[in-house]
A = this chain, B = another copy of it.
Amino acid sequence: MKFTAKLLAELINGEVLGDPYVEISKLSKIEEGIPGSLTFLANPKYTPHIYSTLASIVIVNKDFTPEHEVTATLIRVESAYQAFAKLLELYSQVKFNKSGISDQAHISRNANIGKNTYIGEFAFIGENVSIGKNVKIYPQVYIGDNSQIGDGTTLYAGVKVYTDVLIGKNCTFHSGVVIGADGFGFALKSASDYMKVAQIGNVIIEDDVEIGANTTIDRATLGSTIIRKGVKLDNLIQVGHNVEIGENTVIVAQTGIAGSTKIGKNCTIAGQVGIVGHLKIADNVKIGAQSGITKSIDEEGSVYLGSPADKLMDCKKSYILIRRLPSLAKQIDELEKKVKELGQL
């Protein structure tokens, strides 16, 4: 797809300076601009690049006046950043505008499919599944019996949703996500022989949740594992059975949350964190990368780091002192020597 400066200017209500018929087919950063690409200049720090960029079109703020010659065509708008973001959104809409139901998909006869929904090749839709409007189900997705998918949600290729899972509106799940596999629950039958505890709860995912590639969210033993509205999960995260994650909490890649832990709203949890089971984490808590959380965190807005984790300031003190250990050890040895000498006086 190619777009002229003229067409783009109309879409973002801007004014063209230069050749209105120059065409672009891709996007670039201003410092890495290549011919045939569109970029933008919002941060004054990047202004020098506008005189050397090879990009064909640059969106600029209304108040930008070039001090040297610019070879690119400019489009002047109220806010270059917002205009660029708007174009991105339009571009994504066009690019991902998949539609129709493939006859190479398997759809159970009693599944209920909303209007304007895309179902790709080799997707499997189980019995009594209910799928809303404007949903995108990419190829090779699996949706187990009795599950529900809300309006406007996108499941990328190969997502697996087990039975009885409830998924809200406008969610995005990336490839390899597994929702609703059995929680990890085994009871000892004898000293060393385990019996599986049936995992008969489900998973509930509210609206506007994004889940990264290959992340796994287990079903509850009884009741529900719950991911609240607006939660964003990165790739390769493990969410155990009966966990609850509060609204708008953001969790970075490879973090694991053990069974029955409840995490508050608006928390930020960095990558590779481990949180043990049956804890409660307050709202607005921040947890640093690779931390190990072994106790509940009651204080809202507190910041934790380390494994086992401490409050950020305590943890930093410990880190600094661990680094001072060689000199501390030397101090002690010297003190010992001096005290010995003093004792012999």
Contacts and interface: CB of A to CB of B under 8 A. Distances in A.
Interface of A: 27-29, 32, 85, 88-89, 91-92, 95, 102, 104, 106, 120-122, 124, 138-140, 142, 144-145, 156-158, 160, 162-163, 172, 174-176, 178, 181-182, 184, 186, 191-194, 196, 198, 200, 210, 212-214, 216, 218, 222-223, 230, 232, 234-236, 238, 240, 247-248, 250, 252-254, 256, 258, 265-266, 271-272, 274, 276, 289-290, 292, 294, 307-308, 310, 314, 317-319, 321-326, 328-329, 331-332, 335-336, 338-339, 342-343
A317 B325 contact: yes
Nearest to A85: B198
A209 B216 CA distance: 19
Given A184-B212, A212-B216, A254-B254, 13 more contacts: A28-B222, A106-B139, A122-B124, A140-B158, A175-B181, A194-B230, A214-B216, A252-B258, A290-B292, A318-B323, A322-B322, A328-B329, A328-B332
Contact of A176 (B122, B174, B178): B178
Given A139-B106, A339-B335, A89 B198 contact: yes
Contacts of A250: 186, 194
Contact of A218 (B140, B145, B210, B235): B235
Contacts of A193: 230, 248
Contacts of A223: 28-29, 32
Contacts of A158: 140, 142, 158, 160, 178
Given A121-B124, A157-B160, A184-B252, A324 B335 contact: no
Total copies of this chain within the assembly: 3
23 contacts: A88-B198, A122-B122, A124-B140, A144-B157, A158-B178, A160-B176, A184-B235, A186-B250, A193-B248, A194-B248, A214-B214, A214-B236, A216-B236, A234-B238, A236-B238, A274-B289, A276-B289, A289-B294, A331-B332, A332-B335, A335-B339, A338-B339, A342-B343
Contacts of A163: 95
Nearest to A90: B198
Contacts of A175: 142, 160, 162, 178, 181
Contact of A27 (B91, B157, B222): B222
Given A216-B212, A271-B256, A238 B240 contact: no
Contacts of A102: 106
Given A181-B156, A223-B28, A290 B271 contact: no
